[in-house]
Structure formats: structure tokens, C-alpha cells
Amino acid sequence: MMPAPASLLTDNTASWIVRNLWLIPAVPMIAAGLIALLRQPRRKTAATLAIGGLGFSLVLAISAFAHVLGAWHAGAETRETISFNWLDLGATHLQLGWLLDPLAAVMLVMVTFVGLLIFIYSTGYMEHDENFTRFFCFLSLFAGGMLGVIIANSLLLLFMCWEIVGLTSYLLIGFWYHKPSAASAAKKAFLTTRVGDIFFLLGIVWLFAQTGTTLFYNNGAGAIEPAALTALLGQPAAWGLTAAGAIGLLIFAGAAGKSGQIPLHVWLPDAMEGPTPVSALIHAATMVAAGVYLVARVYPLMAAGAGPGSTTISLTVVAWVGALTALFGALVAVAQNDIKRILAYSTVSQLGYMMVGLATGGVAIGMFHLITHAFFKALLFLGAGSVIHGNHDEQDIRHMGHLRTDMPLTFVTYSVGMLALSGFPIFFSGFWSKDAIIGAAHSWPVSKGPFILLIAGALLTAFYMMRQVSYVFLGHWRGKGHAHESPMVMTLPLSLLAIFAIGLGVLGTPVWPWFTSFIESMPIAAESEPGMIALMVTSSLLVFLGLGLGWWLYARKPIRRPALAPEHRHTSEHGDEESQAPGEIVDVLESASPVIWTVLANRFYFDELYELTVLRLYAALAWFSDWLDRRVWGGIVSAVTSAFKALGWTNKSLDSQWIDGAFDKGCEELVNSGGVLAWLQAARAPGYLRMLAIAVLALAAMALVIASATGQVRL
Amino acid sequence: MTPLAGFLIVAALVFAIGLAIALTRRNAILVLVGIELMLNAANLNLIAFWRFSPHAANSLTGMMFAIFSIAVAAAEAAVGLGLVIAYHRHTKTTDLDAMTRMRG
Amino acid sequence: MIHGIGIVFLITSAITVAGALAAALLKNLIHCVLCLSITLAGLALLYLQLDAQFAGFAQILVYIGAVAILVVFAILLTRGAGIPEYRNVSSSWLVSLVIAAAIFALLTWAVIRSFPATAAGAAPGATVQSIGSALMSTYVLPLEIVAVLLTVALIGAVIVAMPESGAAGKSIEKGGAQ
């Protein structure tokens, strides 16, 4: 599907890098294929193939990025596409193709770079796992699929790679498939994203039907280019939407599934069943970002028809869903006790931020947060992996503590990530990216609702991250045995990511908005809006408030192991844990308001709600289908069978009793008559001779009479 | 009476006697003898007609017929006698009146 | 030869008929067969009178020399030598006699009452050579067929009359003597 000989390409004037852009996804996929063919588990070979493949893709991605950068500096066209006919359907063609523009270039570099770091990290993390080669095969396949999504110029190609990504996500979440929780988590992820994908496919088909092409950009004839968009805007759909709005909503549904927006978010936390590098790569940095990337890619479609002071239905929906998701994720993250679950809900929340950024501020603002988030979320996940690895696979934060001294490098890098995520001002990239989104939400003409939700979310983000860091790294050691620092193959990527988590902020400051200009292919111009400084100050204050609250509640008095004996009872003080039956710590907030805590800890009972409604319905449907199949269709088949059997039996009885019987009867009668006739025989030769003689006599007499009649004999 | 008539009457007489033998005698072999006599009477008929017919000279039809008849009669006598012998082997009799095994 | 109803004719026909009658009436089977031979000889003479020399000698060779002997062998093989233990004639001899007489009457009447034929012409030349050449030309098909017929008949007769192997064969050999 991907490789196409040069003679098939419609655009032979493209540059070398664009012509060979397909290598970027193809090489990791080929590496995955080769790894799959390895006869025995060969760890070094598998790891080398995977890392080598992705490294090659990284080099190509960097050269592609440089190419686009050069084009941007020169003021030339930054978007180049290559398309080819894939399937001929009579007069129309299904075309596939790839494109290179600033958006794709940035994503390519990010995905390959972060992916490469995670690959290297995995060689250390999965060292003790016996399915090492299978892991790298899937990882490589995922990398190929994700890169395919990025460079796809055709909705069809994007969907195909989308599905590959979904498949590998399933495979990797359920990597330890003999754990039933992992297997069902993988199934849940696949099915939930499938629900979104159905709408996505509907959108694709509708778009193709309306515009007649699957390509995004095709020298003016693409599906999201102005000509097609005006046509779509003129086409009314149901409920007062235009075709453009409806298709945009459908595509967003697919993105919502992949990016874990409400209500399709339920799979993301359960996806933490997979190994930590998987969580880092797929569920933090790249795959979940694919939904955001998709919305960014089809942004012209979603923004079609929006004037300067208004916005479209699609973007409004995106903004509200994103904002609600942001707040929801942050609320639930406060009450989780699994180190990875906290980060998972944090991801859900941050994806909401990205969606709001896209909807209110445009492609650049949403994508900037995506890029920075990729780095510091990957950093956080890898750090969590390091913690888990060092704690002998312990994941509950209540059983950790005081890792500041035992795992110093992890602590430092994790703290960098935490501060970046919280949005600590100036130095950390998260601040600039999140601030840009909050600013855009603030100046959104439609409503201030998302802005308020995002503010609350920012406060909570700082709070729960501080809570997590206090539980894990501060306080007293509450675990079993001893923790140890991770090997360098794991800590080196952490350090690299930490550097980027700090450094990337530079790209997005309002003073020098490099990123925005690059994405929009415009010259760099310092932005300044009224109230911008005020907004920055406000958000910084919020961050400090959140961090302070967290510190106050969790770090001021070090969290210690709960007392073992029941008679050691202390009166509950604010900030001190309550001792209870030997076992678990009770969180401060839990003791303060147990009802709210339970609701948050149970994730607002979303899963239970689905269980009761959707899954019940589905089970009923399945039961009904089974009944239908067995009773009705099976009955019909049985009836047909019986009819044929009856026919056959009738035939047989007709044949054997009537036809054969008639024949047998006839033969019997013949035999009987023969017997009767034979009875007439006397079996005496003289008698026969006598008969003969008499006959001769008679004949002779007759002959004589005749002869005399004719005159030969005179009688 | 022409000579032809004389020969024909003799032939008829031999024929009748042969028929009588075939019909009356009880021994199977004698029946065959009677049949041979009848055949011979027919041969005599043929030869007589051949001799006295106004045919073209050198036509041998009658005599050839008779010669072939002799050959066939010889074959038929052999087969018939073989059958009688075979029957005799099984039932130790040649009495024609006792040969009623094919009675129906 | 002498044509017309001559004395030779009468004597030969008397011999023939007498032999036939004797064959009809005698009790001893061998006597019957011998009388048959006389009849056959008489017939041969009659053929000779009719200028059918070849037929006459063929008659003697085949009938008297082969068929009669064959009948004798058959009689001997079936323990028929001597007077048989059962009656001569079958029970319905009278009817048969009547039928034979009726046929004779019919034939004779037909002969007598038909128009007189023309006078006999010269004897046709039936030399052996002409017969031979006729056999090979005009009558070659009947010749071949008769050859096959003879072969088949004789083989068949041998097989039919062959003693079965085993006890049956032995019992025949024991009891076949006169």
C-alpha cells in the first residue's frame, strides 16, 4: 500500500525527501515484519531492528523538518503532496498519498524522537520479560502506523493507519494476556475506540460522497480545500447542520474515541494494564494525540464557515467536550491511588485542554500543547515506570515513599515533569502551552464556560501532581524491602526528556511565537494582546495555589506507614493520617469528605453506568441474536432440511414400493403365467412330433387348395 | 404316369414311413432314424425334380441342394445322437415316453 | 439310364420301401438300423438312375458309411442291443399311423392330379469337375457355412456326449458293455 514506484506518482516535481517520505512509516513496519519472522526470540536482534528502524525514520523526519523549515524561511510553499491512484471504481478513483507540511513535520520529529527514547528505555524495562521480541515487534508496528497517520494525505490512508494504531494498541495493552484484567482492558480499549471509529468512517464516506475525493490537499481539488468546503457548506444536513458541520462532528467523534474525550474516555485508565513504556508511548505521547492531530488536520473543514467573531457548531462542540473532559479528568485524578492511573487521568484531562486549544485558538495553539505534553507526559510515565521497576513492580502510591533519596535521578526528572505539567511559570514548557490555551479560551467569543472549566482544571492539575509527588517521593518509606535506582538505559531517556520539557517552552512564548508562525507558515511576529500579562499572572497564581495546597495537605507532615496495632489510636488531626486496621492509609481528603472522595475514586461511576445501560443492551442484543440464529434461522434451516428429507423419503418410497413394486409384481405375474403355461406342457416328444405332423398336413392341404385355385393342380 | 411322378410317389411313401417311424416308435434313436428317412425322401424329391425339370443345361441347383442337405443331415444326426447318449447317461433310458422331465 | 417307369426302377423302389417298412416294424434295434442301411442303399441306386452320380455316391459314403454307423454306435452305447424291455410302439400308434397315411395320401394325390410334365430332356451334365467348380464359385458361401456347421455340430456333439469326469464317468464305463 505505501510504496509506489515513481512512475505512478502524479507529482514528479516534488523534492527528494517528499518523494521518499513514505519510508518514514514503512521502515518501522518492515522492521516489525522482520522481527515477527525471527525464528527464536532474539532479543538483541529484535531490539536492534526496532531501534534501528525508528532511528532511520528519525533521521528522515529531521531532514523533512529541515526541508520544511528551509521552505518556510524562504517564504516558499511549505506544503507538498504526493498522491496516486489506488483503486479505480469506474470513473472515480480512490487515491492515497502523503504530504509534508509544517504540522506533519513537527509531529514526525516529535513522534520519532519520543518513540526512539521510549524504545531505548524499553530495552531496560522489559529486560526480564520473556516476550521481549514480541513487544518490540508490536512497538515497531505501532510506530509505523502512527507515522502513517501523520503523513497521510488521504482520509482513507489515514483511516487505515488509524486502524493499525488501534490494533497495536490492543495488542500492547493486552501484552500480558494471561492476566484477565489486561485482556479485558485491551478488549475495552478496542471496542470503545471502535464506537468512535464507526462515526469516523461515516464521516469519511460522507465526505467522499460529497467531494468525490479522499485527498486532503490536491492542488485545489482536495476534500478540505476551499472549493470543496464551499460546496459542503452549501449542502444542508439534518437538524440545521450543514454537511460541513455534520461531517466535522462525525470526524470529531472518531477523534474523541481515540483521544479519550468524554464519554469515550473509559478505556484510557484501564489501558494502564499494559507495560509502562506502552503507556508512555501510546497513551501519553502519540496515539491519544492522534485524535488531536486528526482534528488539527481537518481543521479547515471544522472551521469552515466561521467568521471572525463566530465559530462553527463543530468547534463549539469540540471546545465544550474538551473542557468538560479537562475538568473531569482532573477531578478523578485527585482520588486515585495507582501511580499510573493518576497519570492516565491526567492525560485525559490534558487531551481535553488540547481539544479546547484547537477549538478556540486554532491549530497552532492546540498542537503546541500536544508537543510539549508529549515530552513531559512521556517523561512522567517513564519516570513512573522507573519507580515501578525500582519498587519491584509495586504500583500503589500508598506503598511508596521517600524515594527522593533512593532514586534521586528519577526524582529530579520526575519533578521537572511534574512542574511542566502543572504549568510552573516561565521555565517549564507546560506553562507556555497551557497559558496559550487558557488565553484563547478566555478570548473565545462564544462562551466563557470553557475558560472557567480550564482554570479549575489547572488548579486541580497542580494539586494532584503535588499529591502524587508527596506520596511517592516525600514522606517515609512505606513499602516492602528496598527501592533502587534504575539502570542508565532507563534514566538517560528521562534526562533527555526533562531537558526538552524545559526547553520546548522557548518555542511558544508570545515574545517569540516560533511555533505558531511555523505551523501557520507565516513570518514571526511578536504577539501581544491586551490582558495577556494579567492572564499569565493569574494562571501562575493558580499554579502556586494548587502546589501550595498539595504541599500543605500532603507534604507538610510526612506521610508515614499506618500503625500496626489497633490500640495505637490517635485522634484525627488535620493533615495527619488516621490509623486503622493494619493496611491502608486513609487520604486526607477522604477522611474529610468521604462521599465526594468515593465518587471521584469511582470515576464518577462512568464504567458502572455503561455496564448498566450499554453493556446490558448489548448483552440483550447478543442474546436475541443468538436466539434468532438458533431458533428462527436454525429452525428455517431445519425445516428446509426436513422438507428435503421428506422429499427424499417420498422419492425413495415411490421408487421402491411403487415403481419397483410394480415391476416386481409384473415379473411375478410373468413367472406365474409361465408356470401356468408350462403346466400345459406334456413334455412328450412324440406328442410334439404329432403336432408337427398334423401341422404339416394342414399346411400341405392348404397349399394344395391354393394351388388348385390358381390352376396349377387339377383337383 | 411319368417317371417323375413315379419317383415322387416313392419319395412320398418313404416320407410317410419315416414319419410313421418317428411318431410311433418309442425308442429315441429310432425317432432319429425316422427323421433321416424323411430327409432322404426329401432329397429324392429334389434330385427327381432336378433331373426332370426343363432347366438350362449345366444347372446344378437341385443336386447341390441335395448334397448340402446330406451334409446337414449328417451333422444333425451326430448332434441328436449325442444328445440321446447324454440323456441316457443321466437316466439310463431311451424310452421317449419316459422323457417327461420338462413337464410343466 | 433308363427313363420311364422301368423294371429297374420298380425293383429299386421296392427294395427301398421294404427296407423302410422293416425299419418301422422290427423289434430289434440293430435289425432296424440295418434295414435302414438297405433303404439308404436303395435310395442311392435311385439317385444313380436319375443321373445324379455324385449325389448317389455321396449318399452311400455319408449316409451308409457314417450316419448308419453312428446310429449303430449310439444304439450300442445306450444298451439298446437286443429287444428293449418296453413295448415297441407308443400308446398312440394308431393316430400317428393315420397321420402318416394322410400325408402320404395327400402327397400322392397332389402328384397324380397335377398336370403332366413335359418329357424329360437330356441328362444334365453333372461332372465332378463341374460340381467342384460350382462349389468353389456359386456355392462357396453355403460350402463354408456347412463347413462351420459341421465343425460346430461335431464338436458340440462330442462335448454333449462326453462322459463327465469322476464317478459318473466311471459308472458309465462299467455299465456300457453289452
ipTM for the predicted complex? 0.90
Chain C contact for B99 (CB, 8 A cutoff): no
Highest mean pLDDT (candidates A440-454, A520-534, C62-76): C62-76
Higher pLDDT, A368 or A518: A368
Check C96 against A686: CB less than 8 A apart.
yes
Q: Return the pLDDT at A576.
A: 43
Check C43 against B44: CB less than 8 A apart.
yes
Residues of chain C contacting residue B79, judged by C-beta atoms under 8 Å apart: 153, 156-157, 160
Query: Considering the domain B3-91 in this protein, what is its CATH number?
Result: 1.10.287.3510
Instruction: Enter the C-alpha cell of residue A266.
Output: 473509559
8 A C-beta contact, residue A555 and residue A470: yes
Q: Would you place residue A529 in the very low, low, confident or very high pLDDT band (cuts 50, 70, 90)? A: low
C-alpha angle A202-A239-A442 in degrees, rounded to nearest 5: 90
Residues of chain C contacting residue B49, judged by C-beta atoms under 8 Å apart: none
Placement of cell 441316457 in the chain: B88
Residue of C95, C100, C115 with shortest CB distance to A714: C115
User: Closest Cα of chain C to B93: distance in Å?
Assistant: 8
Chain A contact for C92 (CB, 8 A cutoff): yes
Check A690 against C102: CB less than 8 A apart.
no
Tens-digit pLDDT profile for residues A249-301: 889 988 888 888 888 888 888 888 888 888 888 877 787 788 899 999 888 88
Residue of C70, C87, C112 with shortest CB distance to B78: C70
Residue of C99, C107, C109 with shortest CB distance to A693: C99
Q: Return the pLDDT at A304.
A: 78
Is the torsion defined by CA of A281, A284, A287, A292 positive or negative? negative
Instruction: Enter the C-alpha cell of residue A519.
Output: 505551523
Tens-digit pLDDT profile for residues A480-489: 777 777 777 7
Chain C window 7-66: which residues touch A at a Cβ cutoff of 8 Å?
Answer: none
C-alpha angle A390-A189-A389 in degrees, rounded to nearest 5: 5
Residue of B12, B26, B78 with shortest CB distance to C154: B78
Q: Which of C89, C106, C108, C109 to mutate to test the interface with A (most CBs of A within 10 A)?
A: C106
Number of A to C CB contacts under 8 A, please give it.
35
Distances (CA, A) of A114 to A286, A501, C174: 9, 12, 120
Residue of C46, C108, C172 with shortest CB distance to B44: C46
Check C107 against A712: CB less than 8 A apart.
no
pTM (2 d.p.)? 0.62
Instruction: Enter the C-alpha cell of residue A222.
Output: 482536495
CA distance A2 to A19: 12
Q: What angle do helix axes A339-356 and A363-390 make, rounded to 10 degrees?
A: 180
8 A C-beta contact, residue A435 and residue A412: no
Task: Count other C-beta atoms under 10 Å from residue A334's C-beta.
Answer: 21
What is the full per-residue pLDDT of chain C (178 aa) written as tens digits? Answer: 445 578 889 999 999 999 999 998 888 888 899 999 999 999 999 999 888 889 999 999 999 999 999 999 998 888 755 566 666 676 778 888 999 999 999 999 888 887 666 666 666 677 888 888 888 998 999 999 999 999 999 999 999 888 877 554 454 444 444 4
**Shortest CA distance to A55 belongs to which of A79, A31, A85?**
A31
Chain C contact for B69 (CB, 8 A cutoff): no
C1-80: which CATH number, 1.10.3720.10, 3.30.1370.100, 1.20.120.1200, 3.60.40.10?
Answer: 1.20.120.1200
Least confidently predicted of A90-99, A225-234, C130-139:
A225-234
CA distance C162 to C169: 9
**Domain ranges within chain B, ordered by starting residue:** 3-91
Q: Residue count of chain C, please give it.
A: 178
Residues of chain A contacting residue C108, judged by C-beta atoms under 8 Å apart: none
Residues of chain C contacting residue B40, judged by C-beta atoms under 8 Å apart: 39-40, 43, 59, 63
Residues forming CATH 1.20.120.1200 domain(s) in chain C: 1-80
8 A C-beta contact, residue B16 and residue C97: no
Helical (H) or strand (E) element with A81:
strand A80-89
The stretches in chain B having pLDDT less than 50 are: none
CA distance A475 to A457: 26
SS3 sequence of A542-560: HHHHHHHHHHHHHHCCCCC
pLDDT above 80 (res A355): yes
Q: What is the mean pLDDT of chain A?
A: 82
Chain A window 670-699: which residues touch C at a Cβ cutoff of 8 Å?
Answer: 686, 690, 693-694, 696-697
Check A704 against C110: CB less than 8 A apart.
yes
Chain B contact for C112 (CB, 8 A cutoff): yes
Check C103 against A697: CB less than 8 A apart.
yes
8 A C-beta contact, residue A421 and residue A379: no
**Shortest CA distance to A60 belongs to which of A118, A128, A143, A142?**
A143
8 A C-beta contact, residue A283 and residue A271: yes
Q: Would you place residue A158 in the very low, low, confident or very high pLDDT band (cuts 50, 70, 90)? A: very high
User: Could you tell me which residues come within 8 angstroms of residue A492 by beta carbon, excluding any fewer than 6 positions away?
Assistant: A120
Chain B contact for C131 (CB, 8 A cutoff): yes
**Shortest CA distance to A382 belongs to which of A251, A478, A473, A493?**
A493
8 A C-beta contact, residue A254 and residue A206: no
Chain A contact for C127 (CB, 8 A cutoff): no
Q: How would you class C156 by CB atoms within 10 Å of its CB: exposed for 0-12, middle for 13-18, buried for 19 or more?
A: middle
CA distance A679 to A672: 10
Chain B contact for C4 (CB, 8 A cutoff): yes
Residues of chain B contacting residue C96, judged by C-beta atoms under 8 Å apart: 19-20, 23-24
Helical (H) or strand (E) element with A332:
helix A313-334
Chain B window 35-54: which residues touch C at a Cβ cutoff of 8 Å?
Answer: 36-37, 40, 43-44, 47-48, 50-52, 54
The dihedrals phi and psi of B36, each to the nearest 5 degrees, come to -65, -40
Chain A contact for C120 (CB, 8 A cutoff): no
Helical (H) or strand (E) element with A233:
helix A226-234
